[in-house]
Amino acid sequence: MNKYIQVNDLGLKDYKETWDFQESLFQNILQLKSTNKKENVSCETPNYLLLVEHPHVYTLGKSGHIENLLISEEKLKEVNASFYKINRGGDITYHGPGQIVGYPILDLENFFTDIHKYMRLLEEMIILTLGEYGLKAERSKGETGVWLDVGTPFARKICAMGVRASRWVTMHGFALNVNTDLGYFDYMVPCGIKDKAVTSLNVELGKAEVLMEEVKEKLLKHFLILFEAEVKEKTEA
């Protein structure tokens, strides 16, 4: 089992370009697994973690409802945002500058074959990272992602999640609001969940800005511990 992760920090990158890159890595792993099975060989499958910020974009998952996007095509152009229907689970999500988006492209057969456990570990990574900033983040029953003040009238989401998996290979992932312009969430019903607020790390800490690199380092540290993995190679855009 290969527990090495290649970490790629892509910087600020167009959503569609990144999606295409994800898809190519995902399909290459699936192809290698298929060849291994067909030819009865056992070539190691690689694992990747892409970290990225996107220009303003809304994405709608397979089970999502287009009515959860609250603005017209014309208004999208006005606010300099794009929109894509994509192949992950979940409803509508916003990505934008100041938000750390992580795409783990893993062959879970290198780790464990349990999608529920995979999602909970991603949530735990966020919870532990936010804990380092003195925030008590939690899961909300029946609502994927990471929240603050669950079970109170002040419940607010700080990290959204949505994944796709095929033959134990994963793609898509998590989006943690760090210095995000929260005004963009007003143009949608976040994750299809009405009457719940959205927040970001800098708002919770009362800071103008939180260092993105520092947050990425903490996320990666917890990711490696939780998945009992090591960095094979780290590249930056």
What residue numbers does the annotated binding site cover?
A: 88-95, 160-162, 173-175
- From the list 191, 201, 215, 219, the catalytic residue is 191
- Note if 159 is an active site residue: no
Pick from 211, 114, 133, 121: nearest CA to 174: 121
Binding-site positions for substrate: 88-95, 160-162, 173-175
Residues noted as catalytic: 191
